[in-house]
Amino acid sequence: MNIALNPLLDFSDLPQFAAIKPDHIGPAIDSLLDQCRNVVKELEEPIAQVTWENFVEPLENVTEKLSRAWGIVGHLNAVVDTPELRAAYNENQPKITEFWTALAQNLTLFTNYKALQLGPDYAGYSAARKKIIENAVRDFRLGGAELSEEDKPRFAEIQEKHAALTTRFSENILDATNDYALFVEDEAELAGLPDDAKQAARAAAEKDDKSGYKFTLHFPSYFPILQYADKRSLRETIYRANATKASELANQPAWDNTQNIVDILQLRDEEAKLLGYKNYAEVSLVSKMAQTPDQVIGFLQDLAKRARPFAEKDLAELRSFAQKELGIEKLEAWDVTYASEKLREQRYAFSEQEVKQYFPEPKVIAGLFRTIETLFSVAIKPDSAPVWHPDVKFFRIEKDGALIGQFYIDLYARQGKRGGAWMDDARGRRRLEGTNDMDGIQTPVAYLTCNFTEPAVINGKTKPALFTHDEVITLFHEFGHGLHHMLTRVDELGVSGISGVEWDAVELPSQFMENFCWEWDVLQHMTAHADTGAALPRALFDKMIAAKNFQSGLQTLRQVEFSLFDMHLHYDYQPAGKQSVQDVLNAVRAQVSVMTPPEFNRFQHSFSHIFAGGYAAGYYSYKWAEVLSADAYGAFEEAGKASGNVLSGDTGARFLREILAMGGSRPAIDSFKAFRGREPTIDALLRHSGMAA
């Protein structure tokens, strides 16, 4: 194969999706890895005077190519999975990981970054360049680059053991989940369950050559029981099984995560101390917007205090409803979901099907584009590019007639496409070497991927897809990430768009965009009944709003409980001390919960976010970012009150200039304050959740 003709190595413009075949992947990645290694080798030679031009730029140029090419492969693997593509992906992935891991531990590069920071040119660099250098030095330090030769082997050992333990932690959950089966013979015992849940359970039993119905601990299988099953003992059985999963109470000693939890926390604590920090929470926060563990704990406790009266009211209502309407004298943990569902149905009866009729795809997309165009003074126009599937659409964004970004939208679920919704970058904005005008800008390109229902074909005629309100919110959410990536004005790749944005602030633009899906004026322009063309009626809208905040007090306290537990485990819990992990959880519950779960509840044994995901001492990020997005949106509500239009162009211009355009080039708190003129406050979040004082 002629490497010069390999379409994965063509970086002149947009990816050549029509031409890329699985056979191209191996040779392209090998060639790019060679190029990267050669450049790294050259940069390892002594440099008399390290500068941006002789060090960062060549490194960035060559690694960007690798990222872009591998980004295309990863994207294809996610959206048009085939056995050939998957094989090529799996074969090349270890090589990629190995390269990045080695790069992150390359001490010569670390020394060069530090030399740059101390060099004579540094003071004259742009804020963006300074931030990139600062981030690089920080990441090398957190990776153990400054440890003594004595400590390095132990640090590496900790990393390895930690990786093995976290993998083990999630494998145990998976195995325990797969192992559990509850068979129900008599259909009468399943009273209350929707037909689709029963059919799925029947099919599962059939697969095992069994009669009756099979339920497992996979969410879509057990959750309908908690939500709908009239038979209380059935709910209790499945609740207990799920709440003790992978714990010492589950009668599955091989999959008990008790010791894994302690060992994981022990390793993190040791790592933190080797790096010179007091605890792992401090390590986690180095690269986040929140400054100290105490600040995070203070934030969470304050939120708990404010949510508590609402949670108490939610619970009192639920208890009284369960007593009067359902004959449940003492509300137990396995009654909560069931009784809540019944209460919700009684109070906010409207069907998702009914709402869906008002959200046909063309109207929703036009409404989304109109919102963006009005807010940020841009124009979104259809554009053309090679795509990976005929359903994919491609658009360009222009500002004052000039191209500033492009995006692909791939809306529908299909065979071979990974579930969920996400935004990913195809390439980032950067100024190309030695140029100083608009032509010297590489404009950003984004992928927006969803898994909505495709348009139905009825009697040979295609009817537009109808979206649920949740799907519309998801679309706006992902577009918020997309706007962050595409509307950036930063010229340096490492901090343009979403690159380099702090973890606990990255959801600001996405959650911000969701708010428009709850605005009456916006919805009037975004809805048209599939048959009559009528916009969403006010009465239905009011019901949707009321349902939105159902039990928000209880839900908030639940999130706070998880977040505080996570923070304390990584902050003041001593793995070798007298206090157990369960003690920490009990203490948090005593402090914030209004309804204490049963003594046997071992939810921590399947808390993958913090023991097997990237959320250690970071679970608070969900609520933290919500404060920022709600408060930022508050500025639009204020403008709307003054002018009668929440789609305020002036406020949008400011949001664009101070937040979206700045990307990761300065700390998120500075961007927020520049936009809002003050520190963030919690008030807007409480108001949006129906918990205003």
Quick one: tokens of 437?
């005008």
Separation CA 73–CA 92 (nearest Å): 10
Active site residue 514: no
Separation CA 649–CA 641 (nearest Å): 14
Instruction: Figure out which of the listed residues 166, 260, 340, 510 binds Zn ion, where binding follows CB under 5 A.
Output: 510
Strands (E), 190-334: 213-215
Separation CA 288–CA 282 (nearest Å): 10
* Closest separation in Å from C-beta 392 to Zn ion: 21
Q: What CA dihedral angle connects 257, 259, 260 and 264, to 10 degrees? A: 140
* Closest separation in Å from C-beta 382 to Zn ion: 26
* Closer residue to Zn ion (CB): 405 or 480: 480
Which residues 6+ apart lie within 8 Å of 441 measured at CB?
Answer: 429, 430, 431, 432, 435, 491
* Closest separation in Å from C-beta 477 to Zn ion: 6
* Closest separation in Å from C-beta 511 to Zn ion: 7
Compute the C-alpha angle 473/532/516, nearest 5°.
20
Q: Does 629 bind Zn ion (CB under 5 A)?
A: no
* Closer residue to Zn ion (CB): 214 or 485: 485
Stretch of 30-38, 265-273, 440-448, 505-513 lying at the interface with Zn ion (CB under 5 A): 505-513
Stretch of 14-22, 504-512, 657-665, 685-693 lying at the interface with Zn ion (CB under 5 A): 504-512
Q: Tell me how far CA of residue 494 lies from CA of 73, 97, 129, 133, 666, in angstroms.
A: 21, 19, 8, 9, 12
List the interface residues with Zn ion, window 57-116 (CB under 5 A): none
Identify the burial level of 481 via C-beta atoms within 10 angstroms of its C-beta, where 0-12 means exposed, 13-18 middle and 19 or more buried: buried
Stretch of 31-39, 314-322, 377-385, 507-515 lying at the interface with Zn ion (CB under 5 A): 507-515
Q: Tell me how far CA of residue 1 lies from CA of 9, 27, 29, 439, in angstroms.
A: 13, 8, 14, 34
Quick one: tokens of 79?
């959206």
Neighbouring CB atoms inside 10 A of 631's CB total 23
**Count, residues near Zn ion per rule CB under 5 A:** 1
* Closer residue to Zn ion (CB): 28 or 660: 660
* Closer residue to Zn ion (CB): 476 or 672: 476
* Closer residue to Zn ion (CB): 14 or 668: 668
C-alpha R_g of the chain: 27
* Closest separation in Å from C-beta 217 to Zn ion: 27
Catalytic residue among 471, 478, 519, 561: 478
* Closer residue to Zn ion (CB): 155 or 518: 518
Distance linking the first and last C-alpha atoms of the chain: 69
* Closest separation in Å from C-beta 629 to Zn ion: 10
338 and 226 Cβ atoms separated by less than 8 Å: yes
Q: Which residue has the tokens 């995560």?
A: 257
Task: Say which amino acid occupies 140.
Answer: F
* Closest separation in Å from C-beta 502 to Zn ion: 14
* Closest separation in Å from C-beta 507 to Zn ion: 5
Separation CA 354–CA 616 (nearest Å): 41
* Closer residue to Zn ion (CB): 60 or 514: 514
- Of all residues in this chain, which one has the CB nearest to Zn ion in the complex? 510
HEC per residue, 261-295: HHHHHHHHHHHHHHCCCCCHHHHHHHCCCCCCHHH
Q: Which helix (H) or strand (E) holds 452?
A: strand 445-452
* Closer residue to Zn ion (CB): 559 or 648: 559
Which active-site residues does the annotation give? 478
Q: Which residues contact Zn ion (rule: CB under 5 A)?
A: 510
